[in-house]
Amino acid sequence: MGSTPKSVVDMIEASSKVHYSGFHMNGHINGVEPSALQGTTSASAISSDIQRQPFVIGVAGGAASGKTSVCDMIIQQLHDQRVVLVNQDSFYHSLTEEELARVHEYNFDHPDAFDTDHLLSCMEKLRQGQAVDIPKYDFKTYKSSVSRRVNPSDVILLEGILLFHDPRVRGLMNMKIFVDTDADVRLARRIKRDTSQNDRDIGTVLDQYSKFVKPAFDDFILPTKKYADIIIPRGGDNHVAIDLIVQHICTKLGQHDLCKIYPNLYVIQSTFQIRGMHTLIRDSQTTKHDFVFYSDRLIRLVVEHGLGHLPFTEMQVITPTGSVYSGVDFCKRLCGVSVIRSGESMENALRACCKGIKIGKILIHREGDNGQQLVYEKLPNDISERHVLLLDPILGTGNSAVQAINLLISKGVPEGNIIFLNLISAPQGVHVVCKKFPRLKIVTSEIEHGLNEEFRVIPGMGEFGDRYFGTDDD
Ligand SMILES: Nc1ncnc2c1ncn2[C@@H]1O[C@H](COP(=O)(O)OP(=O)(O)O)[C@@H](O)[C@H]1O
Ligand SMILES: Nc1ccn([C@@H]2O[C@H](COP(=O)(O)O)[C@@H](O)[C@H]2O)c(=O)n1
Ligand SMILES: [Mg+2]
């Protein structure tokens, strides 16, 4: 195979391209170099080959466990999405004449029975938005002669007994499902299938089962169950599990590609109101008054969304009608921390939502682009016992965010107790922060194209602090 898929890096690269809260725009894009992972994307890296990353679901499990049936049910329920099914079976090596003569000694359940490099190259093409010809394997002749054309899709279901065996194949998947069906059920189905569909006699099926199928299941398939995100008992009979999986896929499809990589990134659901407000604050001709007004509205939405991620306790109250209302009580142990100066623009929204909230401050001085220096901090003494809403409207390279978060952690704040609220995030900053602090949550309202040579967010909205506090030139 020519190029080995570098799944996470590839995803990161592709996902860093333009996305406006659910929309992808072809052309005029600031693509991301691998160097973007260090926060050094160039604005000249314009790319027009934008392709949305498909959501790849791997379905593994023993032979006749119900993998294909589960995939068929998922496809049926995802009726209005573009979905394709790719079977690992299609990549069985065709048998040579010599192997054919001794077919009963051939182990079809060993990882070497598959042309995994071919599978990887087909998947790579599909992920790049190209159609591929996938071989059609014939279980009766033990050869693949023809192929079928598979078009790129939003969702790729990849199913097969040994899909989780090779780490390169596992690395392609956004979601891994293991279909867990009792061995006796699998054997019974296998006998039925192989005798009726594949013209095999029961003695041959049982011999193959005890010689190869069962040992390979124990040695190669069962040990990969640990890689699964979801284990489905009873396969296609488990309608609840399939419903939940379909719901999850639908949610993921509506999200920015970065959310598929980082479960700790939340981009608020876009509406035309939100797009309209973004349009206004990004317009260089917008007056200071309007800039502040619409920024405040957006900030309020981000703050409200961020508060939704705080823990709560259940409580009941009595309503004026004497009825019981079962509700929840807000988390009381929280504080805000604003990164001076832009972050201070978010304090009012936080105060308006959380009466009497304590707000600390951090000042990070930027010298050049990598020389970030913490010059001032004033934080509540008991900050380690609080959930912290970190406020900074723009996440660019991620350098100052990392400084601020490191400071909070050094004060004893658990990483999982920090919610970083911002208006816009550059993919580079998201990669840096989400990778370094996987338990922290980022809540933002839009993901940007990238950074320019001067490390400014593109398209961005200029110097937020200057525009908000009226200290720009105009
Ligand atoms: N829940 C089920 N109840 C009854 N038969 C089933 C069920 N799930 C699958 N089968 C049958 O068992 C056989 C194997 O199922 P399949 O989905 O092809 O498994 P796999 O892809 O894991 O080999 C097929 O003939 C299928 O019709
Ligand atoms: N020529 C072949 C190729 C494969 N098998 C068996 O198929 C099973 C995998 O297919 P599933 O759809 O059940 O996942 C595997 O157990 C192989 O033994 C075969 O019998 N003949
Ligand atoms: Mg199958």
Nearest to 42 by CA among 365, 428, 312, 374: 428
Q: Determine the atom of ligand 1 nearest the C-alpha atom of 235.
A: 1
What is the distance of C-alpha 173 from the center of its chain? Answer: 10
- How large is the average pLDDT for residues 271-300? 95
Q: Determine the atom of ligand 2 nearest the C-alpha atom of 200.
A: 20
3-state secondary structure of 274: helix
The band of 33, judged by pLDDT with boundaries at 50, 70 and 90, is: very low
Does residue 450 surpass a pLDDT of 80? yes
Residues facing residue 60 across a β-bridge: 178
Does residue 28 surpass a pLDDT of 80? no
**Cα(43)–Cα(45) distance, integer angstroms:** 5
The predicted-structure confidence for 49-63, as pLDDT tens digits, reads as follows: 334 688 999 999 999
Q: Determine the atom of ligand 2 nearest the C-alpha atom of 103.
A: 1
- How large is the average pLDDT for residues 285-308? 96
**Cα(138)–Cα(147) distance, integer angstroms:** 11
From the CA of 246, how far away is ligand 1's center (Å)?
19
Where is pLDDT greater, at 19 or 437? 437
Q: Which helix (H) or strand (E) holds 373?
A: strand 371-378
Instruction: Tell whether ligand 2 has an atom less than 6 A from the beta carbon of residue 267.
Output: no
From the CA of 67, how far away is ligand 3's center (Å)?
6
Q: Which helix (H) or strand (E) holds 135?
A: strand 132-138
Residue with tokens 């909230």, as numbered in its chain: 357
Query: Hey, what are 161's tokens?
Result: 């007994």
Ligand 2: residue whose CA is nearest its atom 12: 63
The band of 3, judged by pLDDT with boundaries at 50, 70 and 90, is: very low
From the CA of 151, how far away is ligand 2's center (Å)?
25
Q: Indicate the top mutation candidate among 59, 86, 90, 108 to test ligand 2's pocket, ranked by most ligand atoms within 8 A of CB.
A: 108
- The pLDDT assigned to 285 comes to 95
Q: Determine the atom of ligand 2 nearest the C-alpha atom of 208.
A: 18
Does residue 43 surpass a pLDDT of 70? no
- The pLDDT assigned to 330 comes to 87
User: For 26-40, 268-282, 370-384, which range has the lowest pLDDT when averaged over its residues?
Assistant: 26-40
- The pLDDT assigned to 78 comes to 87
- The pLDDT assigned to 387 comes to 97
Q: Determine the atom of ligand 2 nearest the C-alpha atom of 194.
A: 20
Residue with tokens 């109101």, as numbered in its chain: 273
Does residue 109 surpass a pLDDT of 60? yes
Query: Hey, what are 467's tokens?
Result: 């525009």
Ligand 2: residue whose CA is nearest its atom 6: 108
Q: Strands 175-180 and 230-233, how do they pair?
A: parallel
Length of the chain: 474
From the CA of 128, how far away is ligand 2's center (Å)?
29
Residues 440, 442, 447: CA angle, nearest 5 degrees: 150
Q: What is the mean pLDDT of the chain?
A: 87
Nearest to 433 by CA among 406, 458, 457: 406
- The pLDDT assigned to 473 comes to 59
Does residue 148 surpass a pLDDT of 50? yes
From the CA of 61, how far away is ligand 3's center (Å)?
10
Ligand 1: residue whose CA is nearest its atom 20: 64
Instruction: Tell whether ligand 2 has an atom less than 6 A from the beta carbon of residue 227.
Output: no
Output phi, psi for 411, to 5 deg: -85, 5
**Cα(230)–Cα(107) distance, integer angstroms:** 28
Ligand 2: residue whose CA is nearest its atom 16: 63
From the CA of 180, how far away is ligand 1's center (Å)?
12
Ligand 2: residue whose CA is nearest its atom 14: 63
User: For 25-34, 123-132, 192-201, which range has the lowest pLDDT when averaged over its residues?
Assistant: 25-34
Instruction: Tell whether ligand 2 has an atom less than 6 A from the beta carbon of residue 63.
Output: yes
Does residue 332 surpass a pLDDT of 70? yes
ipTM for the complex? 0.95
Question: Taking the CB of residue 19, how many other CB atoms lie within 10 A of it?
Answer: 24
Instruction: Tell whether ligand 1 has an atom less than 6 A from the beta carbon of residue 193.
Output: yes
Q: Which domains does the chain have, with CATH numbers?
A: 55-253 (3.40.50.300), 258-469 (3.40.50.2020)
Does residue 195 surpass a pLDDT of 70? yes
- How large is the average pLDDT for residues 367-384? 80
Helices (H) then strands (E): counts for the chain? 16, 21
- The pLDDT assigned to 94 comes to 97
Does residue 458 surpass a pLDDT of 50? yes
Question: Taking the CB of residue 227, how many other CB atoms lie within 10 A of it?
Answer: 16
Query: Hey, what are 213's tokens?
Result: 């199928």
Write the DSSP symbol of residue 386: S
Instruction: Tell whether ligand 2 has an atom less than 6 A from the beta carbon of residue 448.
Output: no
| CB-based contact 109:212 (threshold 8 Å) | yes
User: What amino acid is encoded at 18 in this protein?
Assistant: V
Q: Determine the atom of ligand 1 nearest the C-alpha atom of 197.
A: 25
Ligand 1: residue whose CA is nearest its atom 25: 193
Instruction: Tell whether ligand 1 has an atom less than 6 A from the beta carbon of residue 195.
Output: no
Instruction: Tell whether ligand 2 has an atom less than 6 A from the beta carbon of residue 106.
Output: no
Instruction: Tell whether ligand 1 has an atom less than 6 A from the beta carbon of residue 63.
Output: yes
| CB-based contact 290:280 (threshold 8 Å) | yes
